[in-house]
Structure 1
Amino acid sequence: MTAGATMAMTSGLTRTGGRSYQSSWRVTTAKPVTYDVEFRSGLLDPDDSSLVRAGGVDAAGGRRLVVMERRIQELYGDAVSAYFDAHGVASTTCLLDTSEQAKSVASALLVVAAMDRFGISRRSEPMIAIGGGVLTDIVGFAASLYRRSTPYVRVPTTLIGMVDAAIGAKTGVNHDGKKNRLGSYHPSTTTLIDCVFLRTLDRRHISNGLAEVLKMATVADSALFDLLAEHGPRLIDEHLQPVPGSSDAGVAAEVIYRAIDGMLAELQPNLWEERLHRCVDYGHSFSPAIEMQALPDLLHGEAVAIDMAYTTILARRRGLISAAEDDRIFAVLRDLELPVWHRVCRLDLMTAALADVVRHRNGRQQMPLLDGIGRVRFVDDVTVRELHVALAELADRASLTSGQLA
């Protein structure tokens, strides 16, 4: 699968002013951007050269700087080293502690320092990031800073990385208690997705990733929603791995494929977010504030799930979705073992989150609300009164549901 955001390669220099010596100039240029997202099964098998060829470089010999989470090093470090040894590649590993609290400029500068020590070549030695969405965001941000742009390769090992964090153009770190407040648009040259990594992912992180899958299903793919509604608990039980001999062994692959394909279809024509009407912002109006306020209780997808539950109520109360659709969405959230409430969900937090959305979206709410399952509409007139009433209902419904975070 290839996602390309390609602009015409044009340039020009316009001289303005009516005199023989110009008083101002306007420089116009454009740079094509192309990056690849590829499925690879058995990525660390020495017979597969995808990882050493990623970034368009020769697979024979050379060096690679590999940035990994400490947990990934414990699980796969030996396999990674053996893989590069088999290809005659000298690999150096940089280990990071990754959590939402550690997603900071300081962590990015640790990667920058490792790149400097390694003496990385921007032409022939793309840095390789192996880990979850926090790690790939940090590495991407560091790569965008180092010598103003250094190529890198992403190997997401979590579901949320595979379907969301590691397939777009954005990088970012948290700052001053704000989610991804510092960042850049710097996609990796290649993202390699191997679902085998999901075998060692714990149950909660599978659910966490399925929240982003559910986001795409509710806003753009009703068939994907139906798959989650029918198979959600089993997908978690089986870690989205195909079951040999099963009559529906392809469900997990289809769920992941549809989530990635839907995300890339939305991102590609608006990669730099010049258009602020983005259906993929669904679930991300209130969740940044909820997530940062609730740390370390909530994972990213769990905060997105609470946002989706909250805005589902807002949409139903406006008559945009039916009571039956509302019930289906809450049922899928429950089946995917996702929370719909956290104690930080107070009216003052929600109103502050809405105010931040307005600042972020050029003075307008431009909030995506469901317009039936599989569709969205954008609204600019959500009131504090609506937030209050919907929040009270959400609290009541959460109190009737077991297993929610208190």
Structure 2
Amino acid sequence: MTAPRSWIEDPAFAADRPFGPQTLPCGVVETASGQAVAVRVGDHALPLRPLADEFTLELAELVSADSLDPLLAAGRTAWSALRARVRELVTATAAPDSAELLPLADTRTRLPFTVGDYVDFYSSRHHAENVGRIFRPNGEALLPNWTHLPVGYHGRSGTVVVSGTEVVRPHGQRAGEHGPVFGPTTRLDIEAEVGFVCGGPVARRVPTSAAAEHIFGVALVNDWSARDIQAWEYAPLGPHLGKSFATSLGAWITPLEAFAAARVPVPDPGHPRLDYLVEDQPWGLDITLTVTWNGTVVTRPEFAGMAYSCAQQLAHMTVNGATVRPGDLFASGTVSGQEKRQRGSFLELSWGGKEPITLDDGAQRTFLEDGDTVVITATAPGPDGSVIGLSEVAGTVVAAV
């Protein structure tokens, strides 16, 4: 028996498409009356404020906000209730009163929440080994602590920008023939990552079993990186100016609940985990990313091979007593696989600039040039053979100022 047809007449709003009723990511769009919380349905945005009367009083207040901040603070019970009610509304045969669909192509998205703390991890073993070989050719590819803890660093939340924002080539120090030199980076790179948006009550020492109470959803991240600046400042401490100038975030946050069918165990590290990193259920995610460079698909990283899950990263991030708060963001680190076609940065794809990448138009690249555009997309398996989508994160490089 065929299910009744939804009132949303958009071919992209189907269970076999990434943004059908099984996905329902949340974001913020510009409307005639200002910024509004919205849900992505296929290739359209559905603002929720005009539909406030279709929700309970608590949910009506959340959907009437101009950002996701109140929703993130509301917690898991409200997140699930909102998702369930939105699904009822968008799969009904008749449109709710005051419903308005906005074509994404004509709609401006905004950074959907106020970013609090931002932590970037380093959880792909293949990426860590590749970078180690490139940056430390005479040393160990993987340092001895790496298989015991999720390595990470605190980033700069003020430079997290929404997908589509131009990325200005940054200045900084880099190694020169006769000492350090200053100027625009000549080795601008990307890192294809998966980000996790936090919510719920403020908490410390979050166990892996409580991850779902503090992670609202998932979005793609591009951690733009200036490799020559990073290499110079890399020793003895960690990333600073080579990373802090821009981090792009997808405009639509796919609820964590949507990934129930995509959960997989993380790889065995080869030794016992410390107790606080042990999971009572798998929190790895079977996500496939696709990276295009000026329209050419150059790599397809697999997230399922990441050595640490979001639950383990959150547990490690808070185990010392640090808080997790609504609006905090943490990213997985570069997603890279064992094969060259699965590497999630251009540093790895070009092997430190020694192996140029040929694009479909015949142009050759090692690192990014002004005017280049990078787009990262991703999908995951959904329930009953459906597909879960993560909205694109895109950025175009512009000249240094």
Shared fold (TM-score greater than 0.5)? no
Which has more strand, going by share of residues?
A: 2
TM-score, length basis structure 1: 0.24
Structure 1 or 2, whichever has the larger Rg, is 1
More relative contact order in 1 or in 2 (CA 8 Å, sep 6+)?
2
TM-score, length basis structure 2: 0.24
Which has more helix, going by share of residues?
A: 1
